Amino acid sequence: MAVTHFKKGELYSFITGKASTAIARRLQKKFNEAGITITIEQWSVLYHLWKGDGASQQELCNATFRDKPSITRLVDNLEKLDLVKRVAHDKDRRINKIFLTKAAQALEEQTMVLAEETLNEALAGVSQQEVEMCKEVLQRVYDNLSG
Partner DNA sequence: GCCATATAGTTGTTTATGCAACTACTTAAA
Partner DNA sequence: TTTAAGTAGTTGCATAAACAACTATATGGC
Binding site residues, a second copy, CB under 8 A: 1-6, 8-27, 40, 44, 47-48, 51, 64-65, 112, 115-116, 118-128, 130-131, 133-135, 137-142, 144-146
* Residue 21 engages DNA in binding (rule: CB under 7 A): yes
Phi/psi of residue 97, nearest 5 degrees: -95, 135
CA distance 86 to 54: 9
Question: Segment contacting DNA (CB under 7 A): 67-75, 105-113, 117-125, 127-135?
Answer: 67-75
Phi/psi of residue 94, nearest 5 degrees: -70, -25
CA distance 109 to 82: 18
Vertex 126 angle, CA 125 and 129, to 5° = 145
Q: Which helix (H) or strand (E) is 21 found in, with range?
A: helix 18-33
CB atoms within 10 A of CB 97: 17
Helix axes 40-50, 57-64, angle to 10 degrees: 110
* Residue 10 engages DNA in binding (rule: CB under 7 A): no
Nearer of residues 95 and 115 to a second copy, judged by Cβ: 115
Among 50, 86, 101, 105, binds DNA (CB under 7 A): 86
* Residue 135 engages DNA in binding (rule: CB under 7 A): no
Selection from DNA, a second copy, none that 120 binds (CB < 5 to 8 A by kind) is a second copy
* Residue 33 engages DNA in binding (rule: CB under 7 A): no
Q: Which residues bind DNA (CB under 7 A)?
A: 21, 25, 28-29, 39, 41-42, 56-58, 61, 66-77, 86, 91-96
